[in-house]
């Protein structure tokens, strides 16, 4: 075996060992995380999201929402997330305990959604927002997802699930706008995104940077 082969094998062995150490050390650290039981509340946190919300997460993935929205509130000094009202604390590993796939997101073209359920807990608000974002925010740049809704003729009694829309957005007389199952699941998922609970590791751990003046994100 020539010297080049020995050098190559040595470099490969070092890289493999470094990679393995990184993977296994993180696995030991994060794999040991469990739910935190709160004796005062009488339950453990985080709470698994309900079944309908789990289906809504699949819709969220399918629509590519993570391309414009993140789900990670950064600590003070690393972004103005808390100042924007996106969360009262930074996100921690325990928040994602029950998530088989964590949707951290790619860009922040829209607000972080990790705690959108704390800001808007009513699924009806999210349905209106999905149908036409300008209904709840006149300056919204988010596209409308009207394909998640059905405009159908009212036969008999109106549907209890039909959206209440202003005249400018309402269908013609005798028709109603009803969310599909996908829309309902997605709205329920968003309404359940809420990491308001403060874990022991989130208390007095991170200190805000001395200055964040001029910070945009």
Nearest to 159 by CA among 177, 171, 136, 139: 177
Q: How high is the pLDDT of residue 209? A: 42
What is the residue-averaged pLDDT of the chain?
A: 86
Here the tokens at position 21 are 């150490």
Give dist(CA 209, CA 211) in Å, integer. 5
Q: How would you classify the pairing of strands 149-153 and 175-179?
A: antiparallel
Q: How high is the pLDDT of residue 207? A: 44
Q: How high is the pLDDT of residue 27? A: 53
- Residue 36: enclosing H or E segment and its boundaries? strand 36-38
Collapsing DSSP to helix, strand or coil, 44 comes out as strand
Q: Does position 169 have pLDDT exceeding 50, yes or no?
A: yes
DSSP 20: H
Q: Does position 145 have pLDDT exceeding 50, yes or no?
A: yes
Q: Does position 175 have pLDDT exceeding 60, yes or no?
A: yes
Percent of the chain with pLDDT over 70: 85
Q: Which residue has the higher pLDDT, 189 or 34?
A: 189
Q: Which residue has the higher pLDDT, 205 or 71?
A: 71
Nearest to 114 by CA among 34, 192, 215, 186: 192
The yes/no answer on whether domain 50-202 falls in CATH 1.10.260.40 is no
Give dist(CA 170, CA 81) in Å, integer. 35
Question: φ, ψ for residue 179 (rounded to 5)?
Answer: -70, 140
Q: Does position 200 have pLDDT exceeding 90, yes or no?
A: no
- Beta bridge partners, 153, equal 175
Q: How high is the pLDDT of residue 194? A: 94
Q: How high is the pLDDT of residue 123? A: 97
What angle do helix axes 51-63 and 181-191 make, rounded to 10 degrees? Answer: 100
Mean predicted confidence (pLDDT) in 83-89: 91
Mean predicted confidence (pLDDT) in 35-54: 92
Q: Which residue has the higher pLDDT, 131 or 209?
A: 131
Nearest to 110 by CA among 91, 86, 83, 126: 86
Q: How high is the pLDDT of residue 184? A: 98
Give dist(CA 149, CA 140) in Å, integer. 20
Collapsing DSSP to helix, strand or coil, 178 comes out as strand
Q: Say if residues 187 and 123 touch (Cβ distance below 8 Å).
A: yes
Mean predicted confidence (pLDDT) in 143-172: 95
Q: Say if residues 126 and 120 touch (Cβ distance below 8 Å).
A: yes
Nearest to 49 by CA among 112, 96, 106, 91: 96
Here the tokens at position 3 are 């010297």
Q: How high is the pLDDT of residue 78? A: 86
Mean predicted confidence (pLDDT) in 65-78: 92
- Tell me which of 21-35, 40-54, 73-87, 100-114 is least confident: 21-35
């Amino acid at each position: 075996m020539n010297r080049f082969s020995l050098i190559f094998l040595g470099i490969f062995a070092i890289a493999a060992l470094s990679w393995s150490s990184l993977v296994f050390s993180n696995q030991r650290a994060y794999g040991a995380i469990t739910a935190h039981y709160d004796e005062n509340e009488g339950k453990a946190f985080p709470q698994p999201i309900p079944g309908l919300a789990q289906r809504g997460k699949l819709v969220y993935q399918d629509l590519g929402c993570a391309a414009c929205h993140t789900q990670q509130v950064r600590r003070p000094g690393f972004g103005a997330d808390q100042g924007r009202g996106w969360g009262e604390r930074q996100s921690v590993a325990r928040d994602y305990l029950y998530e088989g796939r964590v949707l951290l997101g790619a860009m922040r073209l829209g607000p972080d959604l990790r705690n959108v359920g704390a800001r808007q807990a009513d699924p009806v608000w999210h349905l209106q927002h999905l149908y036409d974002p300008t209904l709840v925010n006149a300056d919204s740049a988010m596209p409308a997802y009207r394909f998640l809704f059905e405009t159908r003729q009212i036969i008999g009694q109106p549907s209890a699930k039909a959206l209440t829309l202003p005249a400018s957005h309402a269908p013609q007389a005798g028709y109603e706008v009803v969310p599909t199952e996908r829309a309902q699941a997605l709205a329920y998922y968003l309404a359940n995104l809420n990491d308001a609970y403060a874990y022991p590791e989130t208390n007095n751990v991170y200190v805000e940077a001395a200055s964040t003046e001029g910070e945009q994100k």
